[in-house]
Amino acid sequence: MARIKEGFKGERMLSLPDDILRNYSRHPLVQPLYIRKLGFFPKVMYHYVQKDGGTDYCMLIYCVAGKGWYSLNGKPAHPVEANQYIIFPQGVPYRFWADEEHPWTIYWIHFEGAMATHFLPSPIMPRTILPGNTSRLQDRLELFEEIYSNFSMAYTKEYMIHASMCLYPFLSSFLHVEAFRHYKAVSRHDQTFSAQVIHYMQENISNNLTLEELAKNFNYSSSHFSALFQKETGYSPINYYIQLKIRKACQYIELTGLKFCEIAQKVGFDEPSYFTRIFTKIMGMSPSDYRKKNC
């Protein structure tokens, strides 16, 4: 099996030189908890990392699609599935890799500082965070994007400080899931059926849910599910789902400098050319024309 640590198509990754990090780590707001390196790897075939001596930092891996594997201290391998995360502590030998048939898509952060060990759940094992009626999966990913954006400007001290401060709520959103969801905790009985479905679609904006998968989540047959949704919204479920994806793509085009292929990946299109065709059909202009008009 081929083994690749980084350099994948569509990856995003940022790091700082050690001397810059050492300088920043002396700042009282940065020293307790700060980022060494972070990134996003989409469907990374042959991804493999091995740390026989452990590391001097902690590492969070958040798998949003596909599957991977990990092993600690040379023990048997265990899977990391979609909608699961794991945090590796400092000083523990480990290795992890993407599944050969269904390679994972992951967000990851290397972090350290005096407070770092306080964000380590025990025991070390994958934990699941599923989309649901009160979930905030997209809010969590938006926090990652804010951290990533500021860390990209981290040669300016204020941006490094802000990136480090944002790391607290980001890590807390994994360790204290119910507290993180409390802000949007609304009883299922207080929402219409279509509102529940739309929220579920938004939480899965980066995936490609089929009608059958949507219906199964709400315990309906595909035909009954479609009829209920269309009665409340006037749209078929898949058509509405695609509209949400393109609306989210518009936000990325207007508010970020991401490449169109990266935006396509983030809203669940494997082929950038197909994304461009769908975007043009719905918006009446290509993504590049939309960016020229709105940015």
Backbone region of residue 73 per phi and psi (left: phi > 0; alpha: psi in -120 to 50; beta: other values): left
> What CATH code is carried by the domain that includes residue 231?
1.10.10.60
The phi and psi torsions of 34 (rounded to 5 degrees) equal -150, 165
Are 23 and 120 contained in the same domain?
yes
179 within a domain of the structure (yes/no): no
Single out the residue of 59, 39, 93, 37 nearest to residue 262, CA to CA.
39
Q: What is the DSSP string of 194-249?
A: HHHHHHHHHHTTTS---HHHHHHHTT--HHHHHHHHHHHHSS-HHHHHHHHHHHHH
Final residue of a structural domain among 102, 131, 160: 131
Residue with tokens 């709520």: 169
153 within a domain of the structure (yes/no): no
Are 126 and 194 contained in the same domain?
no
Which pLDDT score, from 0 to 100, does residue 283 have?
95
86 within a domain of the structure (yes/no): yes
Are 23 and 101 contained in the same domain?
yes
Which pLDDT score, from 0 to 100, does residue 270 have?
87
Q: Which residues of the chain have pLDDT under 50?
A: none
The count of structural domains within the chain is 2
Are 110 and 196 contained in the same domain?
no
Q: Based on C-alpha coordinates, what's the Rg of the chain?
A: 20
Which pLDDT score, from 0 to 100, does residue 282 have?
95
d(CA 60, CA 44) in angstroms, rounded, equals: 17
Which pLDDT score, from 0 to 100, does residue 213 have?
94
d(CA 236, CA 230) in angstroms, rounded, equals: 5
165 within a domain of the structure (yes/no): no
- Going by the DSSP 8-state scheme, the letter that residue 188 receives in this structure is G
Are 18 and 126 contained in the same domain?
yes
Which pLDDT score, from 0 to 100, does residue 3 have?
78
197 within a domain of the structure (yes/no): yes
Helix pair 272-283, 287-294: axis angle to 10 deg: 60
Are 211 and 282 contained in the same domain?
yes
Are 101 and 205 contained in the same domain?
no
Which pLDDT score, from 0 to 100, does residue 190 have?
62
> What CATH code is carried by the domain that includes residue 96?
2.60.120.10
**First vs last Cα of the chain: how many Å apart?**
44
- Assess contact for 163 and 20: CB atoms under 8 A: no
162 within a domain of the structure (yes/no): no
Q: What is the DSSP string of 29-47?
A: TTTTSEEEEEEEE-S-TTB
Q: 190 CB contacts (<8 Å, ≥6 apart)?
A: none
d(CA 52, CA 94) in angstroms, rounded, equals: 6
| Residues 102-151: tens digit of each pLDDT | 999 999 999 999 999 999 998 999 999 998 878 899 999 999 999 999 99
Are 24 and 125 contained in the same domain?
yes
**pTM above the 0.85 mark?**
no
- Residue 264: count other Cβ atoms within 10 Å of its Cβ: 25
Provide the residue range defining the domain that includes 85: 12-131
Are 17 and 115 contained in the same domain?
yes
Which pLDDT score, from 0 to 100, does residue 185 have?
66
d(CA 78, CA 76) in angstroms, rounded, equals: 7
250 within a domain of the structure (yes/no): yes
d(CA 184, CA 135) in angstroms, rounded, equals: 8
150 within a domain of the structure (yes/no): no
